[in-house]
């Protein structure tokens, strides 16, 4: 889990986070003081699973992290299912190609 507390993130910070957390496959939660629609969208596109505006508050941390981790596991499961489906489709295409000869 990657937990970030930053007053006002920039697009560069979001891009760096996407690169840093992407290959390792870790859920990311970011707590910010303020945001706008564009930054929220950029955070989601960068793979931030929890983008929480109004800063880091101790009472909110556990439920937010729990939700981010659950969402991360759901995305991992969907990625695995998509990869399996693509592989099965490719096998069918190859089998159909062999039968057509």
Residue ranges and CATH numbers for the domains of the chain are: 2-99 (3.40.50)
Model confidence at 89: pLDDT above 60 = yes
CB atoms within 10 A of CB 24: 7
Average pLDDT over residues 42-63: 85
31: nearest Cα among 46, 15, 48, 45:
48
Average pLDDT over residues 27-38: 85
The residue count of the chain comes to 101
Residue-wise pLDDT for 53-84, tens only, equals: 887 888 888 999 999 899 999 988 998 999 99
pLDDT at 22: 59
Structure-block tokens of residue 17 = 């986070």
Quote the mean pLDDT of the chain. Answer: 84
Beta strand extents in the chain (DSSP E only): 2-6, 28-32, 50-53
CA–CA distances in Å: residue 77 to residues 28, 69, 74: 17, 12, 5
Q: What is the pTM of this model?
A: 0.68
């Amino acid at each position: 889990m990657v937990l970030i507390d930053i007053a006002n993130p920039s697009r560069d910070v979001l891009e760096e986070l996407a690169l840093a957390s992407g290959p390792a496959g870790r859920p990311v939660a970011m707590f910010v003081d303020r945001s706008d629609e564009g930054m929220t969208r950029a955070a989601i596109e960068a793979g931030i699973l929890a983008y929480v505006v109004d800063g880091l508050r101790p009472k909110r941390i556990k439920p937010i992290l729990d939700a981010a981790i659950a969402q991360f596991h759901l995305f991992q499961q969907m990625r695995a299912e998509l990869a399996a489906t693509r592989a099965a489709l490719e096998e069918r295409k190859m089998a159909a190609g062999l039968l057509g000869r």
